[in-house]
Structure 1
Amino acid sequence: MAEHIDTITTEEVEALLRENKTISLIDVREDEEVAEGKIPQAHHIRLSEIPERLNEIEKNEEHILICRSGKRSEHACEYLQQLGYQVKNMVGGMLKWEGDIK
């Protein structure tokens, strides 16, 4: 059975960004998806690259993971959570995102 993964809505993420809160967003989509637009503050680490790029993910911070629909980012959350990271999955992913993209 999968561990419980904390979730956050796209609206909640937008509100945090509007309040200029310091949050870590990690976009786990493929390059061509990100090329179509990503949240400006998000750090892009493809899902397949997470294991070798763990050094870019601060262990003492909470991270919000993002993909197109929320499925891949949920897998990334499960993986990182097992390694002791604090993570939340952005439910609905970029399909639901209405904020700024670049």
Structure 2
Amino acid sequence: MVDLPSVPAADVPARAVVLDVREDDEWAAGHIDGALHIPMGQVPQRVGELPADAELHVVCRAGGRSARVVAWLQENGFEAVNVTGGMGAWADAGRPLVADDDRVPGVL
């Protein structure tokens, strides 16, 4: 397997373009404010929604799905990096989360 570019969740720049590839229920429970949300299975059909001129920081719950999406994006001409440890590592690092409703945001 080819080594994919990656960055620890704690080191994702504040103004990074984040692509969250988790499912809708995971996103609703808690996500990074300002992130783009496209579930992994929809990325090929919705690739036109992604900025072609920005480095994408791709995140899922733990890093597996996002690694697969990073590989696919790179094969299709995008600059993308995997967020190591995913949303679990993001939350563990004390980085902020928001939820889609009044609940306390968390990671499913």
What is the TM-score with the length of structure 2 in the denominator?
Answer: 0.84
Q: What is the RMSD computed on CA atoms of the aligned residues?
A: 1.0
Cross-structure match for 2:83: 90
* Matches of 1:99 and 1:51, distance apart in 2: 29
Equivalent of 2:25 in 29, 32, 37: 32
**After superposition, where does 1:13-92 map in structure 2 within 5 Å?**
13=12, 16-17=13-14, 21=15, 23-92=16-85
Identity across matched positions, percent: 32
Return the offset for 1:58: 1.6
Structure number having the greater helix percentage = 1
Cross-structure match for 2:96: 100
- The C-alpha deviation readout for 1:29-53, integer Å capped at 9, x for no partner, is 0000111100112110000000011
- Runs of 4 or more, structure 1, over 3 Å off, are none
Look up the SS of the partner of 1:5 in the other structure.
coil
Letter in 2 for 1:12: D
* Matches of 1:3 and 1:55, distance apart in 2: 25
**Structure 1: unaligned runs, 5 residues or longer:** none
